[in-house]
Amino acid sequence: MPKYRMNKKAQVTLFVVIAIIIIAGVVLVLYFKPKLPLPSKLKPVEDYFLSCVSDIAKEGATILSEQGGYIQLPPFEAGSAYMPFQSRLNFFSSSIPYWFYISGNNIYKTQVPTLREMEAQLANYVAEHIDECSFEAFAEQGYSISTEEVGKISSTVRILEHDIAIELQYPLTIEYADTTKRITRHTARVSSELGSFYKLAKKIYDEEQKNLFLESYTLDVITLNAPTTGNEISCAPLVWSTQEVSSAIKEALQNNLRRIKLKGTYYKLTKEENKYFVYDIGESVDKQIIFFYSSLFPTRLEIVPEEDGIMKAMPVGLQEGLGILGFCYVPYHFVYSLAYPVLIQIFDKENNLFQFSLVVVVDKNQARKAEIIETPEQVEAELCKNKLEKISVYTYDPDLEPVEAKIKFKCLNTVCDIGSTITKGEEAGLTAQFPQCVNGFVIASAEGYAPTKQQLSTNEPSSVELRMKPYHELAVELDIQLKENESALINFKSEDYSTSLVYPVEKSIKLAEGFYDIDAYLFRQGNIILEGEKTEKCIKVPASGIAGIFGFKKEECYDITVPEQTLTEAVAGGGKTSVSLYEEDLAVSKKIAISIPQFKVPTTAEEMQNNYYLIDTSKLGITLE
């Protein structure tokens, strides 16, 4: 019995092996079966069809190249007033998706297409446009061409470095005279640099994301074309127009980015200093690369500090006078946050093109971080977490009309956000929980009004009313004529609000009701040489050795050298006064006239010191008109 079972099992195994051999044989026969050549009578139709498929593939490849690797664009995302970048850069007739950008709500985003995604889009494009291949001309010549099985169309595309390979499943039956042929599979190969273009574009993009070389060039542009950090020997304020500085930065970016080259063979350097614009991405580039920015592109530029279109740096040593510091100097530090698009174009010798765009980001004088980091939540002060007392706040204007305002509460050095008053009926109010504090301050702020504060203890429920003081913009008129490069600095200081202007760069000022201390300094052109001096400074220091242990000290002296300085602006007038400005007067006035006493333009340090003394004892004239 066991023997019989073994023989039967061996027979079954033999049959299985024979079946496998037969199937394999059939497959091999079919695979190596020579394909019959297309009859010559029908070949013109297939040649035309393959040429038409190739043209459609070229059209699709051109769209991919012009639109950063996309035929079907990614979903559109609008920008915002804060960050003005859409998800695409509009450049003439092309809409080019950013490979890297910042969304309207300030989130870093990427949308870099992969090679497989590009192949899939191009394959769909070929399949969708295949009906553009018309056989009407062949029908007139007696051909019968049938495409009844159109529903079975499918396309496969491979983007190679220098070619595009297309395979199309498209049932096509061609009949001519007594010859008929059904063709279902069509293959074509198109010469194209799309693959090499994309490979180079991805290399440039990855290098920028890793090392931020465009941000480095941008920081250099800002440093060379705008005030950043420094000091100047001067007693007059330094003033820049925000609009002019912004325009200078944009113009410099527009000119300098075009000069950037990637290390390679597509250019020749005519000057040694042009090496600065050559960047090495790790391989020699033989295609032409253009980095393009236009001042018309959406650009975000924020400069701090800046107010009403003016960047201002105030002198140190002015109020104290030369008798204390020996000279005046103006320190300045401006912080720039800049985001702007760059279009990167790649050309070959036949002027074939691939282009993509990205956004370059400088944040507070620093290149953005190469990695994307979420902003940590701000830590709320412990005092602000414990809001225990219910307080009501009401905000009005001088006519007792409601004014909606943001409310904060200050206790010692801690400031807590409370909320905003909201207009209901005839009053703007807010009832909210406040932290407990004795003699704290409720602070209200609103657009068009000076900040207002009132002292309040919040150790029990209470209410407070704040009268908001509106700003009034007044033209400023001086009773003196200033020449080119001459200026006047006028300071207004009150308990709650202070402001200043540098005339004639600024010719208007915003003032609210209040009691002001006003001082003015008139600067004219001069050439005062302050002689250098050398003084000896001695201080007590611990004695060395065992004597120092017991607290003994010794005297050490060193020299202090003040170098010779030259002042080109000299104080030649000024004065001080105090005045109350009332709401009813400000509301009907258009201009504030200021009379400034004038002095002799000094030629020595002693005369300069005397002018400062005259400023302290001279009185300004203030008139509202």
What's residue 181's pLDDT? 82
> What are residue 393's phi and psi, to 5 degrees?
-125, 135
Residue 536 lies in a domain: no
- pTM value surpassing 0.85: no
SS3 of residue 309 by DSSP: coil
Q: Are residues 163 and 224 in the same domain?
A: no
What's residue 561's pLDDT? 57
What's residue 601's pLDDT? 84
Q: Are residues 363 and 485 in the same domain?
A: no
Q: Are residues 594 and 460 in the same domain?
A: no
Q: How far apart are CA 18 and CA 155, in angstroms?
A: 38
Residue 323 lies in a domain: yes
Residue 198 lies in a domain: no
Q: Are residues 276 and 334 in the same domain?
A: yes
Element (H, E) at 559: strand 553-562
Q: Are residues 121 and 263 in the same domain?
A: no
Give the CATH number for residue 508. 2.60.40
What Cα–Cα distance (Å) separates residue 223 from each residue in 1, 66, 227, 229? Answer: 99, 34, 7, 9
What b/e string do you get for 233-267 counting C-beta neighbours within 10 Å, with b at 16 or more?
bbbbbbbbebeebbebbbebbbebbeebbbebeee
Q: Are residues 457 and 481 in the same domain?
A: no
Q: Are residues 439 and 568 in the same domain?
A: no
Domain range for 270: 213-367
Q: List, in order, residues 6 or more apart from 348 with CB less than 8 Å away.
A: 193, 197, 287, 288
Last residue of a domain, one of 422, 450, 469: 469
* Average pLDDT per 10 consecutive residues for the chain, totaling 625 residues: 47 59 54 56 83 93 94 90 87 89 88 94 92 84 73 84 90 82 86 94 94 94 92 83 93 93 91 90 93 92 89 75 57 92 93 94 86 42 80 91 92 87 90 89 91 89 91 91 85 86 88 90 76 62 57 65 66 90 91 91 78 87 91
What's residue 2's pLDDT? 45
Q: Are residues 314 and 187 in the same domain?
A: no
Residue 201 lies in a domain: no
What's residue 606's pLDDT? 75
Tokens of 87: 């998800």
Last residue of a domain, one of 343, 367, 391: 367
Residue 377 lies in a domain: no
Last residue of a domain, one of 446, 469, 492: 469
Residue 350 lies in a domain: yes
What's residue 378's pLDDT? 40
Number of domains in the chain: 5
What Cα–Cα distance (Å) separates residue 93 from each residue in 65, 89, 289? Answer: 14, 11, 21
CA angle 253-368-223, nearest 5°?
Answer: 40
Q: Are residues 179 and 222 in the same domain?
A: no
The span from the first CA to the last CA of the chain, in angstroms, equals 130
